Structure 1
């Protein structure tokens, strides 16, 4: 058994090295070029239509929830504990230059996320409850004209959610344990809270995420910005280091072992890929429920998500790590603790540690709520609404098992299962790229959607 586990782990590590980075980043770069670098050309307009429309309640078109609610549901899945603990690990092994490559990967990923949301809206359907449903399982089946590919995507994502929920729960248990809450209590609390939300369906989920996501992101970002301001004298040098060491090796200093250019690229690209889920096919499941008058309009919220998740939340974490200089004094093995230590250093153990602990708790809790919804939609696609309710119970049980332990073996399959949904999704996006470009052009060439004043 141990030999099998080691073989699985080794294969997973290889798969999530160069192969998956090539598929996700290479595919995103290809789509960026094919779509005419739209995320750069129309960036200002996209920000006006997203950040500028957060409080707008007048929406044209059909759908189940508001565009912002759909976006916060997708964001709830992407903004997780790794935004706090994953970034310092990337810097510890890749150096300051890793941050530059994280930014580049995020900007490229905008094209992949735009494509999958456009297709998610185009091929969405109404279910038995008269709610809109969509995602890769629908556009791979109908758009790619390969029902078996859509079925495989849905099946593997449905399975992937089980260990994913359990691993997220472990993060919460570990976080709660730092303030003395026992594992069993954490498991009960999480299962009850998540159960109350997910049993209300997509409308209740989005009602929760539209309030929870802005609160938890603001809480953490404001705290991080305060730390950056306290260390503002170091900021110019940090920015210079980020750009310098993206193209030159970073020398060892203190507890930092140094990093070559290849390491900066590897860790920065990996963090950019993992943080915003661009190309993974999960975001369009949430966005397919949105009220919208055109697929491209809702797809702009995908760019918004990447800006919030990677260019804001991950970036402030990186600047906290770098401006405080803690990455040079804390060993790489303990890098994940750097943000918490930075907060505690400035605000004291109770307040500083409390903010990071609460942030991680809310980040992970919101992720669990939304990924269970994703899993239910796969079960619904495969076997109907009744079976999706059975899977809901399975996922809630996985929360308990994750809290108590006992299904750690499944964690070894997590990355492999994730690869089985990413590969067909990215292939589908590339094959159906012409449909996306036609809809993108239709939107930006229509003055009713994109006023001529925006071209000046």
Structure 2
């Protein structure tokens, strides 16, 4: 374990160094400039054609999901423990200013995600089962050409392995930890031996539930995420809003700390978080970990859509980042920061905060027992949805490398890892997940930059056609 930690630490320091931050943010800035800020210019259009059509009934054919189901599956993969535990870690290690850099990452990341989704639908293909398959490996192969297929294979290797960490062990580990916190809150004498038994039982139960959904095919996965994601997001958002409103008088001071701390973290945290680079790094890392813009994971879900216009599905990428980071992550951060100001909650800056702080923040309003229950429910729903989303991503990545014959063996291994993840050390899992995130992003961002011209052409085509259609409609009314 010590050797693995040492190797991972060395690789992590490289892939999450300044060059990676420049590549991630730089790609977002490039796409924003080349599309003339499509995420800002067409934000209203994106909201109208995503959340505005949530209750519209759409049918999907064999081997595909409706546009909303595809987006829900993508959100299932992104809305996970990063939205709760990840944000707490960013704030305690980077200071309140990390929230500011989280916002910057999200605003730029909206365009990166838009580009990824557009390319995924543009260059997708049908597999031997008739299912739509797509993502970075396919827009590398079909967009850059077969001579670049090796880059797609490289991405797929990282994605298939990352699914075991970011999309499985980390999520399951946080579920069992939060459940144990609830049990301890109601039963302080709960022994470690009993916790181990509970962890194993939970791991087996989650493995069975995942198998039922996963083996049911793409249709069942879409049907589950379509219902699970909106419900879980709404429950968590409402609870966070209640806490923030309860401490509403602290909001001016909290936003002061966020904006000042972004550039001078030492002045806000009493020197515990004194590096601006560290503040930026944690804000960007947790922003990317949360919304996955630039990683290339979500496009694999969006590629399953029944929507044929790449840009129409692309705007779901804008909406996805907005909900995941601007709304949910911000509320997570505000909840603990408001509780710290209003109730004296000790965030212990400079240390790696965990969900215990989230529980304590909710506990100041709802009571300790109910607070731990809220976090447990929120984490369980968020994490389980992420497991489902990443089960699809890992499967698609493995299929690209080895073909359809590898799908079922990979899924079986993925399900076994769920049980293993219920009893493993979370610290190393987080670190490995961070490393694999960075490694995934490199081939994907290379492809996005190389194919940026395609995104620009598709964007111009789509909105030119919309303008022409509107003009014809207006002339017909005269």
Corresponding residue for 1:280? 295
- Range with bigger deviation, 241-250 or 50-59: 241-250
CA distance in 1, matches of 2:69, 2:469: 23
Corresponding residue for 2:346? 329
**Counterparts in 2 of 1:7 and 1:188: CA distance versus 1, 3 Å:** closer
Q: CA deviation at 1:452?
A: 6.2
Corresponding residue for 2:190? none
Deviations 1:328-365 (A, max 9, x none): 62313363222211111211122221111110011111
**Counterparts in 2 of 1:178 and 1:60: CA distance versus 1, 3 Å:** closer
Q: Contact (CA 8 Å) 2:345, 2:361: kept in 1 or not? A: no
Give the counterpart of 1:157 among 153, 156, 159. Answer: 159
Corresponding residue for 1:425? 444
Q: Which runs of 5+ in 1 are unaligned?
A: none
Corresponding residue for 2:111? 111
Corresponding residue for 2:232? 216
Q: Which runs of 5+ in 2 are unaligned?
A: 184-194, 473-478
- Range with bigger deviation, 40-49 or 410-419: 410-419
CA distance in 2, matches of 1:210, 1:264: 35
Deviations 1:379-420 (A, max 9, x none): 222223232011100111111222244999887654443333
Q: CA deviation at 1:60?
A: 9.6
Q: Contact (CA 8 Å) 1:163, 1:398: kept in 2 or not? A: no
Matched, 1:296 2:299: no
**Counterparts in 2 of 1:445 and 1:189: CA distance versus 1, 3 Å:** same
SS at match of 1:128: coil
CA distance in 1, matches of 2:171, 2:248: 34
How many residues align? The count is 452
Corresponding residue for 2:192? none
Q: Contact (CA 8 Å) 1:170, 1:402: kept in 2 or not? A: yes
Give the counterpart of 2:331 among 309, 316, 334. Answer: 316
**Counterparts in 2 of 1:450 and 1:49: CA distance versus 1, 3 Å:** farther
Matched, 1:345 2:348: no
CA distance in 2, matches of 1:107, 1:20: 18
**Counterparts in 2 of 1:155 and 1:252: CA distance versus 1, 3 Å:** closer
**Counterparts in 2 of 1:414 and 1:100: CA distance versus 1, 3 Å:** closer
SS at match of 2:240: helix
Matched, 1:204 2:207: no
CA distance in 2, matches of 1:169, 1:129: 30
Corresponding residue for 1:386? 405
**Counterparts in 2 of 1:199 and 1:420: CA distance versus 1, 3 Å:** same
Q: CA deviation at 1:151?
A: 2.0
**Counterparts in 2 of 1:253 and 1:240: CA distance versus 1, 3 Å:** closer
Compute the TM-score of the two structures, normalised by the length of structure 2: 0.88
- Range with bigger deviation, 159-168 or 284-293: 159-168
**Counterparts in 2 of 1:289 and 1:273: CA distance versus 1, 3 Å:** same
CA distance in 2, matches of 1:235, 1:225: 12
SS at match of 1:190: helix
Give the counterpart of 1:264 among 275, 279, 289. Answer: 279
Q: CA deviation at 1:83?
A: 0.8
Deviations 1:61-89 (A, max 9, x none): 99711111111100011111121112122
Q: Contact (CA 8 Å) 1:61, 1:292: kept in 2 or not? A: no
CA distance in 2, matches of 1:224, 1:135: 34
SS at match of 1:268: helix
Compute the TM-score of the two structures, normalised by the length of structure 1: 0.92
SS at match of 2:267: coil
CA distance in 2, matches of 1:357, 1:60: 34
CA distance in 1, matches of 2:250, 2:334: 10
Q: Contact (CA 8 Å) 2:359, 2:375: kept in 1 or not? A: yes
CA distance in 2, matches of 1:285, 1:30: 22
* Within-5 A mapping of 1:39-188: 39-58=39-58, 64-145=64-145, 146-164=148-166, 165-180=168-183, 182-188=198-204
* Within-5 A mapping of 1:220-231: 220-231=236-247
- Range with bigger deviation, 3-12 or 16-25: 3-12
Q: Contact (CA 8 Å) 2:261, 2:268: kept in 1 or not? A: no
Q: Contact (CA 8 Å) 1:176, 1:186: kept in 2 or not? A: no
